[in-house]
Homo-oligomer: A and B are copies of this chain.
């Protein structure tokens, strides 16, 4: 009973014994993806913690910056993009308000709505995280040439296009686009 985690190739070899019809090529891509994301999440989580941020807070910060100047979004919009219920969004904003990362005010054009805005503190926090993360990211990709980085980005983008543009049907299938 070894304490060492099986390598990706070992994992797939075992999986194939357990499930004959498995496509090893597909499985390798998918499992490499999730393994990578797990490691990245751990690394980011550690860095965020040193800056006093949690992952949920970081997600909201990203969405607001991504919205571009003047860094404003409706709570419902953020909730939809992050896959949360409106209630969960309310709670997150509550927490971030006490830290001065965001502001919350009524939308005067439609007073049912609320506008979440990024404070200067929040924007500064985003920058700090990005600066810290870029060091890790460069380390992560250090073995790939510029040409390979481009290839990888292009291949991943094609997968992303498939999964972001084609919402699954009732059976969970990803149908053709356009």
Contact = CB atoms under 8 A, between A and B. Distances in A.
A42 B83 contact: yes
A160 B22 CA distance: 22
A40 B33 contact: yes
Stoichiometry, as copies per complex, reads 2
Interface in A108-149: 123, 126-127, 130-131, 134-144, 146, 148-149
Interface string A71-91: 011100100110100000000
Given A68-B14, A73-B1, A137-B26, A33 B173 contact: no
Given A144-B159, A159-B36, A126 B72 contact: no
Contact of A32 (B68, B80, B153): B153
A8 interface: yes
Contacts of A152: 29, 152, 155-156
Nearest to A83: B42
A172 B130 contact: no
Contacts of A164: 5, 7, 35, 39
A150 B25 contact: yes
A143 B162 contact: yes
Given A30-B40, A40-B163, 13 more contacts: A6-B66, A15-B130, A18-B123, A18-B126, A19-B127, A21-B131, A26-B141, A28-B156, A30-B140, A33-B37, A33-B40, A36-B159, A143-B159
- 7 closest Cβ pairs, A-B complex: A37-B37, A32-B156, A139-B174, A28-B153, A39-B163, A152-B155, A29-B153
